[in-house]
Chains A and B, each alone.
Chain A
């Protein structure tokens, strides 16, 4: 495939991510922050997000499996996950976290466990999508093109 085709595939894919709510405007802001001095900024931050979130999810699982669940701790973890996901623009993950926090207030363990599952699912979905996105970007760059920038309107 030639460069132009690759680029159009990339932008289509990115658009789809916005359309289904996986990513929001914050992701675009991150892309705008990327420049020649930090050409891999977005990848870097998202990778950080992945490792951070995985750790948080593990912590969440283990704390919900405790005999005496400390809901404040759980809330704190969820708050963190919410913060980081909103910072990179992982909208669906963020929304799931917001829902989770509401459940924490009710302090119902089964509900929390179910919500945790939901959060995990959304996270994996987002991770998958982002990884594909980066792969496409790499292809474009390897073919000699530059990653087209998307403005918020399109």
Chain B
């Protein structure tokens, strides 16, 4: 601010120049605004800085954390890898060790077998050896389950493929376990269910593994059940993707492929590669169920049942086990395209029910002609093939039945009827159900005394079919029947006119076939009485049954079911000639192929090539499969003409025994030695009895006997006579070769009089032995 005085024209003026300070000016005016702006600016900076900084901070920290995490992850992965590899190493080491253990065990078992040769028959040492062998076998089984589990874990379990008969397999396994179960007082029943397994019984798949699954389930069932029964049933189900054998369109195939691929990926193990080819169309799903009345498994424990190393149920006898079994079973089932689960039983039933299913390929249906030739070949022995043909003819019969409803609709007074005289238990109802399914009329009688009631039930229907037949016809028949009349109980009243002459010669073989053809028109049925021989004192039972049979006007057959070891049936009460068509004795249990064989006795079901309806008289189902565990079927080799045959050599001279043994072993046979007639007789007797109970497929304990004629004590002639007597009871004939120097004169004649089949001169020579075998085979 400037203040100056000015003189203007005499006037004194004062003017003031106000020059505001610039700074102060701006400050003054904009000062309030500058503050705000400043403030805002700072604020802005801060505001932008904060998120940026925090953002950066976050990023950095995340990155740090990331790095930390990945480093820990890597560390963890390394740790797991090393743990896994340690585990794998441990497993491989275990497997290696187990293989070595297995080799040593095999060595031990082999040595035990060798030691048998030097032991007398009934010595204590032999019993001890038996025990040792059993222990070694148990060890082997345990070891095998461990090895299997580790193999599956390693993903190295491969499925083999072969053709086999699944119905037979199931039956064999059941027969294997039947005696063990019976000992515990548990009945092991094979339920044919709807017979669907029979229709497609020839399959392609891994037989061994399937057997393992069923065996494991059964052994567990037997282990954990102490009372009641165990039922095994199998049936086929529809494969969801493909029901028929018709060729599928390509996209279906791809679907199937992808489904299988999915399965493969799920498990990480190999699935049957062949199913990806044409056989896919023919895949059938087989369901199998093992249901027992044991202690059961609670719902909570069910989940862990299939875990490895866990044993869920308490055992009664504290039996050991690795707990691996069910885990392996599940893995195997999954490998075969299926699974296993526990099914809830009916409310009031206790026990457990395991059901599993597998996928198996069914080859193209066998052509009819092939079947016929197979039947012919199979006539030789009651072998597996024959079982197959029985099943096939039964399924044919089944299909015939199902295709002709007209026949089954009527109560079928002309059809066959079956009466089951046995205790009211599960087996009875299973058998009854199956027969009813086949369309057979079944009556069940639970007590001897009630048999009369049944005959009355049957009578009214029979009376209607009792059409008038001329008495002259009857007298004609009676003259024919003269030879067949036995103890007055074989009265056959013909039903249905022109069949009458045929009915009486029912016993003869080929007539059954003829009857099959005629029976299509006139259903002349048969009354089949299946009796449990242990239901009462046998003579009483026999009498009651005979009275019953006299009371009904139809032809009847009786099947006696006897306990395998203690025979209650007294065959002497069957006053029959050598034909024996009326009474048959079978060993319990009646199931599987034996049941079918019995059903085939009914004329509706008899197959056209059925020439041996009565060979089952002496055979029994139990333990047929025990052969299979030790030696699978030996392949007959022409270079070894006696391959698979058992020969008994009876000679008092040790030298001759040794030499004969060597000759026979060279020809492939297995040899048993004994030193006189008494021993030979005993061996044959025991062998026949044992076979009766346990090895029905090979009726003969020995395929040949080499009998020295001159022996101290009981000589060859006497021994042969007694052996032939024994054989009569079983209806067999073991070829006996006489070893003697006499080839002419009274001694020579005696050879054939006592029933020997061939005669060889001492000393033995290979050629002559072969000659003998060859001529015995053809003769």
Residues on the B chain within 8 Å of A30, using CB:
659
Q: Tell whether A26 is near chain B: CB-to-CB under 8 Å.
A: yes
**Docked-complex contact B710 and A48, CB < 8 angstroms:** no
Please state if A29 and B654 are interface contacts (CB–CB under 8 Å). no
Closest to B651 in A: A83
Enumerate chain A residues within 8 angstroms of B762, measured Cβ to Cβ.
83, 86-87
Stretch of B476-484, B600-608, B763-771 lying at the A interface:
B763-771
Q: Is the CB of B662 within 8 A of A52?
A: no
Residue in chain A with minimal CB distance to B712: A76
CB-CB nearest in chain A for B740: A83
Contact B765 A44 (CB under 8 A): no
CB-CB under 8 A for A44 and B658, given A26-B765, A29-B765: yes
Residues of the A chain whose Cβ atoms lie less than 8 Å from the Cβ of B766: 29
Residue of B at shortest CB range from A82?
B741
Report the nearest B residue to A46, measured CB to CB: B655
Closest to B767 in A: A29
Q: Provide the bound-state CA to CA distance between A41 and B659, in Å.
A: 9
Known: A29-B765, A33-B666, A79-B710. A52 touches B654 (CB 8 A): yes
Q: A13: CB under 8 A from chain B?
A: no
A80 touches B658 (CB 8 A): no
A12-39 near B? 1/0 per residue, CB < 8 Å? 0000000000000010011001010010
Once A26-B763, A86-B763 are accepted as A-B contacts, the answer to whether A38 and B653 lie under 8 Å apart by CB is no
Interface size on B, residues (CB 8 A): 18
Interface 0/1 of A39-58, CB less than 8 Å to B: 00100110011001000000
Q: How far is the CB of B739 from chain A (nearest CB, A)?
A: 9
A87 touches B655 (CB 8 A): yes
Bound form: Cα–Cα A75–B662 in Å: 28
Determine how close the nearest CB of chain B comes to the CB of A63; give it in whole angstroms. Answer: 14
Cβ–Cβ < 8 Å partners of A35 in chain B: 666
CA distance A24 to B710 in the complex (A): 24
Contact partners of B662 in chain A: CB under 8 A: 33, 38, 41
Q: Is the CB of B655 within 8 A of A52?
A: yes
CB distance from A29 to the nearest CB of B (A): 6
B658: chain A residues at CB < 8 Å are 44-45, 48
Question: Is B710 within 8 A of A88, CB to CB?
Answer: no
Taking a contact as CB atoms under 8 Å apart, the answer to whether A48 and B655 are in contact is yes
Query: A29-B765, A44-B658, A48-B658 given as contacts; is B653 within 8 A of A87 (CB)?
Result: yes
Chain A residues near B654 (CB-CB < 8 A): 48, 52
Question: Least Cβ distance of A17 to chain B in Å?
Answer: 17
Give Cα A88 to B756, complex, Å: 26
**Does any Cβ of B come within 8 Å of A7's Cβ?**
no
CB atoms of A49 and B666 under 8 A apart: no
**Chain A positions 77-129 with a Cβ under 8 Å from a chain B Cβ:** 79-80, 83-84, 86-89
Q: Which residue of A lies closest to B666 (CB)?
A: A33
Sort chain A's interface into a size bin. Answer: 20 to 34
User: Measured between alpha carbons, how far is A79 from B741 in the docked complex, in Å?
Assistant: 10
Contact across chains for A49 and B659 when beta carbons are under 8 A apart = no
Q: Which of B653, B666, B712, B765 contacts A83 (CB 8 A)?
A: B653
* B652, CB-defined interface residue at 8 Å: yes
B659 and A87 within 8 A (CB) = yes
Q: How far is the CB of B650 from chain A (nearest CB, A)?
A: 14
Once bound together, how far apart are the Cα atoms of A80 and B653, in whole Å? 7
On whether the beta carbons of B666 and A87 are closer than 8 Å, the reply is no
Residue contact A33 to B663, C-beta cutoff 8 Å? yes
Q: Is A45 touching B653 in the complex (CB atoms < 8 A)?
A: no
Interface centre among B653, B655, B663, B764 (most CB of A within 10 A): B655
Q: Does A88 contact B655, Cβ atoms closer than 8 Å?
A: yes
Q: Provide the residues of chain B in CB contact with A44, threshold 8 Å.
A: 658
Q: Could you tell me the distance between the alpha carbons of A88 and B762 in the complex, rounded to whole angstroms? A: 11
Contact of B656 among A29, A41, A76, A83 (CB under 8 A): A83
Question: Which residues from chain A contact B653 at a C-beta distance below 8 Å?
Answer: 52, 80, 83-84, 87
| Nearest CB of B to A13, in Å | 23
Q: Roughly how many angstroms separate A105 CA and B765 CA in the complex, as a whole number?
A: 29
A84 engages B656 (CB within 8 Å) = yes
Q: How far is the CB of A127 from chain B (nearest CB, A)?
A: 14
Is B655 a contact partner of A49 (Cβ separation < 8 A)?
yes
**Distance in Å from the Cβ of A150 to the closest Cβ of chain B?**
17
Annotate B62-106 by CB proximity to A: 1 below 8 A, 0 otherwise: 000000000000000000000000000000000000000000000
Closest Cβ–Cβ distance, residue A76 to chain B (whole Å) = 8
CA distance A44 to B762 in the complex (A): 20
What B residues does A89 contact at CB under 8 A? 763
| CB-based contact A45/B655 at 8 Å | yes
Q: Mark B655-673, 1 if CB is under 8 A from A, else 0.
A: 1101100110010000000
A35-B662 Cα distance, complex, nearest whole Å:
10
Q: Can you report 22 residue pairs joining A to B where beta carbons are below 8 Å apart?
A: A26-B763, A30-B659, A33-B662, A33-B666, A38-B662, A41-B662, A45-B658, A45-B659, A48-B655, A48-B658, A49-B655, A52-B653, A52-B654, A52-B655, A80-B653, A83-B653, A83-B762, A83-B763, A84-B655, A86-B763, A87-B653, A89-B763
- 8 smallest A-B Cβ distances: which pairs? A87-B763, A84-B655, A86-B763, A33-B662, A48-B655, A84-B653, A26-B763, A87-B656
With A48-B655, A87-B659 known, 5 other A-B pairs at CB within 8 A are: A33-B666, A44-B658, A86-B762, A87-B763, A89-B763
